[in-house]
Chains A and B, each alone.
Chain A
């Protein structure tokens, strides 16, 4: 073997030179938004110096307003679970508009296997099936619900990966169809009165616990496994991924399937928490989930973003929504502002993309 004489130049692995992580910017944005609400609490005359996150009345052991913080986190954690799935879909260069409708359909179908036979000694007034489907172990409705999400996700994935239908259109179709399934399932009637075991899944702070477990799991998956690496590679440059031998179509099916299953798991938690399932459940959750991801730095162009970012995006989303309640603004304004946040997040992403493209 010939020795080379043309030196190795400044080849380094320099941790200190790593780029400023995007997540840090988003964390700073979160802190700034909290500061703005705290300042408004002090400055607006009708607020009487109330605080958003801090305990001003000595009600709690810590300096924080624990009740409100709990509400903020609880409020966003179910949509946050959907956002975890949406995050990997967007990183893979796709989009999923069907998650809200998958929530509706999965909640209805799962709940009809989670009912209890006797409510206060009387037969369940909302019974969907006969006695055979009553008081089943909670694992059965959970599996049924997850299978619904899995099926919807597989259909999404196969349509996108094996036909040339753009993700936007394929999942839009699923959004309409799955909502149709949710309405057709019980002819529009709500399905209620689950078993105690099923209700436990969504009781108290359980939604937050599920969210944290899943967020940690998907952080590890996206950052440390082959699945994660291929997801980023496909979103970065699909042709390169294909030429490198990644089975792109198969991978995409897996990505959408996982997203569908996370949406259906959110449906299970939501129906267990509310003790009922309705066909309108999860309406526009897909947009909230996409907004959380995009606010958190997940690029709609694909290839960039992280679970940590999405978690921060979720908190920003939660703080802004709660902040408006705290400022005693009407629910109408909240809706308007939510729309504004979504558009602003996308504009910010476009701007980031332009900056990234300028470097290319």
Chain B
């Protein structure tokens, strides 16, 4: 492995890893530069080991800069920061004194066609973002997968070009989340690793692979172990770390339930060996969280991380990872896709067309839509139909999921946390 980077996003993660800490990060974005700055300052000063986030708004994401401009002009609230609409100098002064070596900042967006965003980052000097040809395409609209692959190839090349050995650009795969819920962990792990291999093919020097908390901690620990093992096997020469997302599906409606779910994710991060944790707030099911909500969430997560680290040091483990063959399933999918074409972009495209990769309940036309998943009786997320995936599993004839069943599965985690807290 090459010498670890000293500065930028990658460098900061290295330093905290060396110190045995888990970096905690919000999902934060505000339209107004003053609010965005206030949020970054508050996260930097929070009682936690943090990095900053600028989440972009949905107009910027889909490339509708006209609507972003109109919203800024008419002071209409946006769901994120319009990076490509505010003049670069406005963003530079928003960042001045905040964005420094000790406090790296990541741009999170969700764009299948990200060139305008990467160019703005290059002009402003921002070095870290999130994305992927699959994970920023299939859950995020109707851009054809083929275009997203081309666009993300160019984006990765640009990130590689922006990099210097001292300050490598960093790219995180969103592959461990997909539609936020109901995607069995083996497939999440496979997509994250395949996107990591895609980034490596394009010489992005520093990457992270994600995994989102699902329905059962034992299964999540098995998934994180599989992800780490696959990174060791398939990406041994690259600077890679693992980032855990607090639950990305329908969130509990009570404060207590939301907090308990956040706590559980912090424990999973520690016992699963993630270097970074991206949190959610108690306002998740209600509205865009404000600065105070975000600070409360990172501080709470930090406390739980420290508690869990003490538990671990004392040899106490809350859960035993399950042993369901998750690694083997992920590995089979990865190997099958890699065998399709030496160019991973082409291989991914073929794989989705043939259903060798297929996300349950995904509406995107470039997937076959034959797979189905369910929350099993023991709370594990499992396959209900494996479609044409190259793995063993159920292929029942003619079971359609109804509205009631769908809602109860989507609300499984929210209900579990809201109700356990209520009885307490």
Partners in one complex: no
A-contacting residues of B (Cβ < 8 Å)?
none
